Structure 1
Amino acid sequence: MGKADDLLRSMGGIITESASHRGTPAAMPAAASGPHPASDRPGARSKVAFDIPIDAIEPDPAQPREQFDHEPLERLADSIRSKGVLQPLRVRWDESKFRYILIVGERRWRAAGLAGLDKVPCVVDDRTPDPGEILALQLIENCLREDLTPIEQAAAFKKLMDVNRWSGNRLAKELGIPQSAISQALSLLSLPAPVQDAVDHGELPASTACEISKLPDASAQEELAARVVRDGLTRAQTTSAIRRRKVTERVLDTESGPRVTVSYRRGLDVDLVIAALRDALQMVESERADAA
């Protein structure tokens, strides 16, 4: 059982604890009077949700989600106005800032502010989780509640791998998802910015973008991506176009010593290849005549 399973169990515990939390939480001491109710066990986190002033909390700068779309936040804010915050946020106390730092729940925190709430229910960690654990919790929560954009998710996967020094295979095992999903997500990060933008704006399917990433040249990737968006090419049509673009290379070692390399796109008419070779031969003969 991997770390992700433990994290998911931990998050499940938070959900269970919040089942009875519907607007009459235990009173929370003022933020200025101390960090949070202390646990008798060092390193443990509180098992109870407490109301904490929204303005005493700030987001984690390492949060993997970089953008929060306004419309989904407004929908969540409407839900909070009618039902309240049904699941507590998870926070830690930062003594240097004398403020709470979000571990998971930034989307709920922002929506609660839009809904006009002054306080939000929080479960407080009595320890500072390591960066890898925080990132894993944030990524898991985001993926469970509202999908990251494909590029955000790919970047979060990459960051989680870097923080923990995990391979793609290890990450897949920890998160319980196919390794192919990790590989496909990471392939999006190699695409030029305009292509990534098209993916994040829903103009280009992520699965099709993964195929486009197989082209070695950035300009060719942009060109094909633009064609997919413009002409509405399917993934199968895109794959076919990529195969036609891939270059076939032949290297010929002649008896006299020189090595000749011939490169051409697959599917190109053989007569055109022969004509190009004849043109090349004429160029070499012309250079020889000029040198004589």
Structure 2
Amino acid sequence: MASAKGLQSLIPQKRTEVKKSTKKEKAGKNRENIYLIDVEDIQPNPNQPRREFDQDALHELAASIAEHGVLLPIVARKIQKSTEKGSQVQFEIIAGERRWRAAKIAKLPRVPVIVRETRDERHNLVLSLIENVQRENLNAIERAVAFKRLLEEFELIHEEIAARVGKSREFVTNTLRLLGLPSVMQESISRGSISEGHARAILSLNTEKAQRILFSKIQKEKLSVRGAEEVARIFKARIRRAPVREGGSERGALEDQIKAKLGVRVRILKNGKRGSLSISFSDKEELDRILKILLS
């Protein structure tokens, strides 16, 4: 494993001064220069999708950084910040806040940084969200919130988000569906109490009541993802076997209206929020007559 000293020997060490490395780049135009920048001249990004930092994991990373240095550079953009002493150059993190926090705990004076040029504030926000989704170990809810921002604030469609973060459209769509869960379940996903696989099993159920029952069973019985999927399958099978007729005068009135129109017996069945309409016919001629009425 490369040592911190080995990395620093390839990087200029002037305080916050953006200067080309003395080592020539031989890998082509797409290579980016790395600079050593004082940790105090770096600030977090207010649009960072990560909202929670596990303190134990952060201190473990700090211990590793203290021994080996920051091996994966932070990505930041240069900004001008007004202070009492005048304008000051600062660097706002695009990706790598967790590494920066750990480096501060490890008391490193400087960290390696790739400085990105951004065209405007909108471009910076999109770049920050995408970099964090691609490079950081976000939990599923943080990732879903980032996707939602790209969807709503920047009007990207699912296919465009998928292309930019290197995932499939289905992955983006399924991740966004997590935000449809009750808040208590979203919080459990964020904390790691239940996994994204558990959440998919819960989302396969159509009613919030059924979702809450399964969520409770997962927690109380510590079900595996496969166990949660099996319970969800049993729930759905029970619902299919026990359809409930929509009761009361409203159901009867609807059935009578349809019967008067078609001239055959009909039945309305309800299954949670869903349902079905059953139409009886005695032979093919009667079926053809009903179809003619429905399609006319």
**Fold conserved (TM > 0.5)?**
yes
- Cα distance per residue 1:215-242 (max 9 Å; x no partner): 4443442232112222324312223214
Is 1:91–1:102's contact at 8 Å kept on the other side of the alignment?
A: yes
1:155 aligns with 2:145: yes
Confirm or deny that 1:120 pairs with 2:111. Answer: yes
Offset at residue 128 of structure 1 (A):
4.7
Query: What CA deviation, in whole Å up to 9, does each residue of 1:147-193 have, x standing for no partner?
Result: x1121122122223334422223322333322222222111100011
CA distance in 1, matches of 2:198, 2:55: 27
Alignment counterpart, residue 160 of structure 2, candidates 166, 170, 177: 170
Q: Which residue of 1 aligns with 2:290?
A: none
Are 1:137 and 2:131 an aligned pair? yes
Give the deviation of 1:114 after TM superposition: 1.1
Whether the 8 Å CA contact 1:36–1:93 is kept in 2: the answer is: no
What residue identity is the alignment partner of 2:146? A
1:83 correspondence with 2:77: no
Greater RCO, CA 8 A, separation 6+: 1
Does the 8 A contact of 2:75 with 2:116 survive in 1? yes
Q: 2:212 aligns with which of 219, 222, 230?
A: 222
Q: Secondary structure at the match of 1:166?
A: coil
Match of 1:290 in 2: none
Runs of 4 or more off by more than 6 Å in structure 1?
Answer: none
Q: Percent identity?
A: 26
**Equivalent position of 2:270 in the other structure:** 263
| 2:57 maps to 1:50 | no
Structure 1 CA distance, aligned partners of 2:245 and 2:190? 35
For the Cα contact (< 8 Å) 1:109–1:120, is it kept in 2? yes
Native 8 Å contact 1:52 1:121 kept in 2 = yes
> Following superposition of structure 1 onto structure 2, how do residues 186-205 of structure 1 map, counting pairs within 5 Å?
186-205=176-195
2:77 aligned with 1:68: no
Q: Does 1:238 align with 2:232?
A: yes
Q: Structure 2 CA distance, aligned partners of 1:236 and 1:72?
A: 33
**SS of the residue aligned with 1:96?**
strand
- Say if 2:185 and 2:215, in contact at 8 Å, map to a contact too: yes
Shift in CA distance, 230/220, structure 1 to aligned 2, threshold 3 Å? same
**Corresponding residue number in structure 1 for 2:288:** none
Determine the C-alpha separation between the residues in 2 that align with 1:52 and 1:121: 6
How many corresponding residue pairs? 236
- Say whether the 8 Å CA contact 1:212–1:238 is kept in structure 2: yes
Q: Are residue 94 (structure 1) and residue 79 (structure 2) matched? A: yes
1:136 aligned partner, one-letter code: I
Q: Return the alpha-carbon distance in structure 2 between the equivalents of residues 170 and 126 of structure 1.
A: 22
Alpha-carbon distance between aligned partners in 2 of 1:121 and 1:102, rounded to the nearest angstrom: 12
Is the contact between residue 78 and residue 117 of structure 2 (CA under 8 Å) also seen in structure 1? yes
In the superposition, the TM-score normalised over structure 1's length comes to 0.68
Letter in 2 for 1:263: K
Contact residue 49 and residue 121 of structure 1 kept, 8 A: yes
| Compared CA separation, residues 248 and 160, structure 1 to 2 (3 A) | farther
State the match for 1:281 in structure 2: none
Change over 3 Å in CA distance of 1:194–1:138 after alignment to 2: same
